[in-house]
């Protein structure tokens, strides 16, 4: 309705302009974003979408690749506290010494595609009911595609496989990056029918994860 009034082209141009402004001015925006004092490299509009997804899915286990400073894991642990449910397993090749401590968070050090790490995740998933996965580590296509192939089966029906930073390589930002998360999603969806893109999660116009909210539709 609003698109009709505003004009679709004008709407698309406005969203793209704001996305570029927000992304390239990162020292003021996404690299200066905190959850309770801990850096979280996320757009707050996506963090709100996370809150809506977590409340509706109520996962027992959230697996995150790419911990960075722990802000996203800490944010999700705080939401789990409010829901009195859920824990987070977060994986990174590099763990700084000042990661936030929280009973619901387990930090795992290693590469997300290492077989020993995958076995750790498999063991944790075996004890869990509802599982949600977030891929936010190395953003090159080959790595993300390997993660998608290794982690997708952990996601339970109705839950989400979230692929972060699908906006790079010209979607619409950082056009010289080279094949990245969105290209990995496209390749994955061409070979897998268990997931569909939930574009309703892009409702706030600005998302760093366009086409990156994948919902599992099969058991």
Ligand X SMILES: C[S@@+](CC[C@H](N)C(=O)[O-])C[C@H]1O[C@@H](n2cnc3c(N)ncnc32)[C@H](O)[C@@H]1O
Closer to ligand X by Cβ: residue 174 or 194: 174
The region of 78-86, 135-143, 181-189, 210-218 touching ligand X under the rule CB under 6 A is 135-143
Helix (H, G, I), strand (E, B) or coil at 215: strand
Binding mask 20-49 vs ligand X (x if CB under 6 A, - otherwise)?
--------------------xxx-------
Query: Would you count residue 156 as binding ligand X (CB under 6 A)?
Result: no
Task: For residue 110, give the DSSP letter.
Answer: S
Helix (H, G, I), strand (E, B) or coil at 181: helix
Of the candidate residues 46, 60, 136, 202, the single one contacting ligand X (CB under 6 A): 136
Of the candidate residues 30, 59, 63, 65, the single one contacting ligand X (CB under 6 A): 65
Could you tell me how many residues of this chain bind ligand X (CB under 6 A)?
18
Query: Residue 73 in contact with residue 61, Cβ under 8 Å?
Result: no
Of the candidate residues 112, 156, 166, 167, the single one contacting ligand X (CB under 6 A): 112
First to last CA, the chain: 36
Helices 71-83 & 44-57 angle (0-180, nearest 10): 40
Binding mask 75-104 vs ligand X (x if CB under 6 A, - otherwise)?
----------------xxxx----------
Alpha helices in the chain (DSSP H): 2-6, 8-24, 44-57, 71-83, 115-126, 141-151, 181-191
- CA nearest neighbour of 159 among 133, 191, 186: 133
Tokens for 18, please give them.
């704001």
Query: Would you count residue 202 as binding ligand X (CB under 6 A)?
Result: no
Task: For residue 111, give the DSSP letter.
Answer: -
Query: Would you count residue 128 as binding ligand X (CB under 6 A)?
Result: no
Of the candidate residues 46, 50, 59, 72, the single one contacting ligand X (CB under 6 A): 72
Closer to ligand X by Cβ: residue 11 or 51: 51
Query: Residue 83 in contact with residue 55, Cβ under 8 Å?
Result: yes
Site residues for ligand X per CB under 6 A: 40-42, 65-68, 71-72, 91-94, 111-112, 136-138
């Amino acid at each position: 309705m609003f698109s009709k009034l505003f004009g679709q082209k004008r709407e698309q141009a406005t969203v793209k302009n704001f996305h570029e402004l927000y992304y390239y001015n990162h020292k003021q925006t996404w690299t200066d974003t905190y959850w309770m004092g801990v850096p979280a490299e996320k757009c707050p509009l996506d963090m709100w979408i996370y809150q809506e997804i977590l409340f509706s899915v109520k996962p027992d286990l959230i697996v995150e690749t790419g911990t960075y400073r722990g802000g996203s894991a800490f944010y999700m642990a705080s939401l789990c506290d409010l829901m009195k449910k859920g824990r987070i397993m977060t994986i990174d090749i590099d763990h700084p010494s000042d990661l936030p401590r929280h009973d619901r968070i387990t930090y795992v050090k290693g590469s997300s595609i290492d077989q020993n790490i995958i076995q750790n995740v498999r063991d944790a998933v075996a004890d869990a009911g509802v599982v949600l996965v977030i891929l936010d580590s190395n953003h090159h296509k080959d790595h993300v595609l390997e993660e998608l192939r290794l982690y997708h089966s952990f996601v339970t029906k109705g839950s989400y496989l979230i692929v972060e930073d699908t906006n790079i390589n010209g979607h619409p930002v950082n056009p010289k990056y080279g094949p990245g998360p969105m290209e990995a999603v496209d390749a994955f969806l061409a070979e897998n029918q268990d997931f569909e893109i939930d574009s309703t999660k892009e409702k706030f116009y600005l998302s760093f994860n366009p086409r990156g909210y994948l919902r599992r539709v099969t058991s």
